[in-house]
Amino acid sequence: MVETGISLIVVIVISLFITSLICLILKGLKRFERNMISKIFLCVLYLLSIYLLLFKPYIYNGFGRVSKDMSITNLSLKPFSTIEMYLENKNYIPLLGSVVVTIPIFPIADWCLRNCLSKKKIFSLMLLFVCLIEPIQLAINMITAYPNKVVDIDDFFLNLIGYLFGFITTILIYRIKSNMCKKKQEHATDTKSVSNRIYKN
């Protein structure tokens, strides 16, 4: 628990440091705006979290000690076998974790890139990233010659479900906001027309 808290503090501090560097670079290029700070920090924090959760090699546990667990299975290509195993054991946390970790990808990317790219391009690029998570983990295993991450086809399905859930939720929120704005505009227009009629009479 203490180590987790320390790791969280370290991640936040590193994120703040990287955010400061990026802001300084943007100021030097005269492309800095104050509303960018929160976007940059959120992106850096999420990317660091993604690295630690999905890509950081297990050969080191974060405090410099080499892991002695050499019994990790590094490849599982049988669909739904892992999901079935967790469901049978009533261990839902790993399944939820694989879904939740990719839910913020589209909302954050859309929030940061909406002025640069269309939603279709953002969706396609982030979908490509989600599809590459497991192959990247396999590449890390091959490069380090150590089973750092379990490359599991079920993780791919769960990551994809999480990403699509985040995408659909974001689009629904936009539509709800758009409908609310339209209703407010219509109400304001109706109120204005009524007041004009009363004034004319």
**Residues 99-124 pLDDT 10s:** 999 999 999 999 888 888 899 999 99
Structure token pair of residue 138: 């396999």
Q: For residues 141 and 148, what is the distance between their CA atoms, to the nearest angstrom?
A: 6
Instruction: Give the pLDDT confidence score for residue 131 in this predicted structure.
Output: 94
8 confidence band (pLDDT: 50, 70, 90): confident
Which of 120, 114, 106 is CA-nearest to residue 164?
106
Instruction: Give the pLDDT confidence score for residue 72 in this predicted structure.
Output: 46
Mean pLDDT, residues 19-46 taken together: 82
Contact 103, 159 (CB under 8 A): no
27 confidence band (pLDDT: 50, 70, 90): confident
Of 55 and 137, the structure prediction assigns the larger pLDDT to: 137
Instruction: Give the pLDDT confidence score for residue 37 in this predicted structure.
Output: 84
Q: For residues 104 and 184, what is the distance between their CA atoms, to the nearest angstrom?
A: 29
Mean pLDDT, residues 169-179 taken together: 91
Calculate Rg over the CA atoms of the chain. 23
Contact 73, 146 (CB under 8 A): no
Of 171 and 195, the structure prediction assigns the larger pLDDT to: 171
22 confidence band (pLDDT: 50, 70, 90): confident
Which of 129, 135, 134 is CA-nearest to residue 113?
129
**Residues 39-97 pLDDT 10s:** 888 888 888 888 877 877 655 444 444 444 444 456 788 899 989 999 999 999 989 99
pLDDT at residue 168 above 90? Answer: yes
Q: For residues 140 and 200, what is the distance between their CA atoms, to the nearest angstrom?
A: 75
Instruction: Give the pLDDT confidence score for residue 63 in this predicted structure.
Output: 42
- Domain boundaries of the chain, sorted by first residue: 1-55, 71-200
172 confidence band (pLDDT: 50, 70, 90): very high
Structure token pair of residue 22: 């990026």
3 confidence band (pLDDT: 50, 70, 90): low
